[in-house]
Amino acid sequence: MTRKKARIAALVVIGIFALFVRFFNQAPSTALSVRRVIDGDTVELSNGETVRYIGIDTPELKQKHGDAWIYNPRPYAEEASDFNRRLVDGREVRLELDVQKRDKYGRLLAYVYNGDKMINLEMVKEGYAMIYTYPPNVKYVDEFLNAQKKAREMGKGLWRDMERNVISADDAEDNIGLIRIIEAEVLSTFLTEKVLILNCNSSFKVVIFKNNLTSFPKEATRSPDAYFKNQTIRVYGAIKSYKGSSQIVLHDPSQIELI
């Protein structure tokens, strides 16, 4: 084969590969129908794909006990699931992808549309979901933030009870698995290359991982002690148990307020 023919053959192969990659990335954006609504932020499509909505998080329907998942819905989990079902179950939807295509569980990550209506955003607007910022998938973070602000101000959905029942750090341990607003004083901070931890008492911590730290004020990461120590804060999120303590992981600066 001559050098010219070899070059042409190489270009043809590259062109075919490029078309394949383009098709692979865009194929999920074609219209499909929702076969099953799993919960407030997850659905199964007619092609068998499981889709996790980008940018939001809803209360859990099931809790893990050992190796099994037990149906134990958290407050507003059933309402969120029912609202999602009314919007998409059995209906044709369109998917829009962002930078990261799948999560660690293999689920497709997408903005889901029914017509011109983005379901992710509708869940936030009605107070059935809170924002869940997870870089690099942050294309519509401003829209989600504005929608959540309005939902909180109007006391919609899960915000109704949360705003009425702010708890202390001492009560966090009794609210594991629930989405709550906690008011506490930051006693100390701990910063590594991977995480910033705000210690509020011996059993409750606020955690911000590296991939989310860039969206927080620079002063908060340059000198966390100067920025947070001895400050009273309000944080919201799902309270989790980790190594004998309770914690809330922050995914966005909107989750924390200095009082």
CA distance 37 to 256: 31
Contact (Cβ atoms closer than 8 angstroms) between residue 117 and residue 94: no
Question: pLDDT tens across 114-138, in order?
Answer: 999 999 999 999 999 999 999 999 9
Is there a contact between 50 and 35 (Cβ–Cβ < 8 Å)? no
How far, in Å, CA of 72 to CA of 94, rounded? 31
d(CA 89, CA 95) in angstroms, rounded, equals 15
| pLDDT at 201 > cutoff 90 | no
Tokens of 237: 């999120």
Separation of alpha carbons 78 and 130, rounded Å: 15
> In this predicted model, which residue has the larger pLDDT, 17 or 242?
242
Residue with more model confidence, 15 or 120: 120
Chain-centroid distance, C-alpha 258: 22
Which part of the chain is CATH 2.40.50.90?
29-153
Q: Do residues 132 and 60 lie in contact, with contact meaning Cβ atoms separated by under 8 Å?
A: no
CB atoms within 10 A of CB 24: 10
Domain range 29-153, CATH class: mainly beta
pLDDT digits (tens, 9 = 90+) for 149-169: 999 999 999 999 888 889 999
**Bridge partners (DSSP) listed for residue 96:** 111
Cβ atoms of 121 and 147 within 8 Å: the answer is yes
**Residue 70, Ramachandran bin (φ over 0: left; ψ between -120 and 50: alpha; else beta):** beta
Place 70 in a pLDDT band, splitting at 50, 70 and 90.
Answer: confident
Phi, psi torsion values for 66, nearest 5 degrees: 70, -125
User: Within the chain, which residue ranges are assigned CATH 2.40.50.140?
Assistant: 166-258
pLDDT tens for 30-63 read 569 999 999 999 999 999 999 999 999 999 998 8
Q: What is the pLDDT of residue 66?
A: 75
Q: Is the peptide bond before 136 cis (omega within 30 degrees of 0)?
A: yes
| Domain boundaries 166-258, corresponding CATH code | 2.40.50.140
Q: Using one digit for the tens of pLDDT, what is the confidence trace for 212-227?
A: 998 899 999 899 999 9
Q: Tell me what the mean pLDDT of segment 109-116 comes to.
A: 97
Number of residues written out for the chain = 259
Which residues are annotated as catalytic?
52, 60, 107
Residue 148 has phi, psi (to 5 degrees) of: -70, -40
